[in-house]
């Protein structure tokens, strides 16, 4: 059975971001995916005020509550069960068993948000991480290299070498370097895309894509 991911629910988890900003993120996603996503709906998930969420568990909750194609955004940390402490807190992730991705603004934010410029920076970074995670819902994979789009910015799927930079170095070198346009390789793949559930999904029940 084909799963319809031409529409996306953008879910605010807690009170991390305004509805108007969520709508702007939705518009950016529609623009970047060039018609593959036809519409979006802004939703709200009431969540306790906690410092961190288990990322995989959160995607399962959002799948049960909203179903379909979902992007959840929170200002709490997203954690994994990676044995390496360096990798067990993530910017975003996508559940391989469904079409649910989550993004955290926690480590995208400057230490102090005191100006419109600071807020714009958080928004810009949130959009870029969101594009990366939603890209995985369409089957796009990470670029280990620093793949560029036609406008010279990094493709949203560029991942680079995370541990080479550390958290803040990675944000500035990779996330800030990403643009809103996909590279030619990703665009070609998206044009060929068929939204079929992964044939090995039953074997991937514990698989979670971390970013």
Residue 150 is predicted with a pLDDT of 94
- Euclidean distance between CA atoms 2 and 49, whole angstroms: 36
Strand partners for 13 = 45
Instruction: Give the domain 7-194 fold.
Output: Collagenase (Catalytic Domain) (3.40.390)
**pTM score of the predicted model:** 0.88
Rg (CA), the chain: 16
Q: Which residues contact 54 (CB under 8 A, 6 or more apart)?
A: 79, 80, 81
Please work out, in degrees rounded to the nearest 5, the angle formed at the alpha carbon of residue 53 by the alpha carbons of 47 and 59.
80
Model confidence band, residue 202 (pLDDT cutoffs 50, 70, 90): very low
125: pLDDT strictly greater than 80: yes
pLDDT per position as a tens digit, 74-90? 999 999 887 766 668 89
The SS3 call for residue 10 is strand
With CA atoms as reference, report the closest residue to 201 among 1, 67, 11.
Answer: 1
Per-residue pLDDT at 209: 52
Exposure on the CB side of residue 166, measured as CA atoms within 13 A: 2
Res. 1: pLDDT tops 50: no
The predicted structure's pLDDT at residue 87: 67
User: Looking at the predicted structure, is the pLDDT value of residue 164 above 80?
Assistant: no
What does the chain come to in residues?
A: 211
Q: What is the pLDDT of residues 7-23, one digit of tens each?
A: 999 999 988 789 999 99
Tokens for 182, please give them: 């996909």
State the chain's mean pLDDT as an integer: 86
DSSP H or E segment with residue 132: helix 116-137
3-state DSSP call for residue 71? strand
Q: How many CA atoms lie within 13 A of 101 on its CB side?
A: 26
């Amino acid at each position: 059975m084909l799963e319809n991911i031409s529409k996306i629910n953008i879910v605010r988890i807690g009170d991390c971001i305004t509805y108007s900003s969520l709508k702007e993120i939705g518009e950016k996603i529609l623009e970047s995916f060039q018609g593959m996503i036809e519409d979006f709906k802004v939703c709200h998930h009431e969540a306790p005020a906690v410092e961190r969420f288990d990322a995989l568990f959160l995607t399962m909750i959002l799948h049960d509550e909203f179903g379909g194609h979902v992007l959840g955004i929170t200002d709490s940390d997203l954690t994994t069960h990676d044995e390496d402490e360096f990798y067990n807190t993530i910017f975003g992730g996508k559940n391989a068993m469904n079409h649910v991705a989550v993004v955290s603004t926690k480590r995208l934010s400057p230490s102090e948000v005191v100006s419109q410029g600071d807020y714009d920076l958080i928004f810009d970074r949130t959009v870029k991480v969101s594009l990366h995670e939603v890209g995985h819902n369409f089957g796009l994979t990470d670029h280990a290299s620093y793949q560029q789009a036609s406008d010279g910015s990094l493709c949203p799927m560029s991942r680079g070498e995370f541990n080479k930079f550390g958290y803040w170095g990675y944000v500035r070198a990779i996330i800030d370097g990403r643009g809103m346009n996909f590279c030619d390789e990703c665009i070609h793949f998206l044009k060929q895309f068929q939204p079929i559930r992964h044939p090995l999904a039953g074997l991937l029940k514990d698989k979670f894509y971390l970013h």
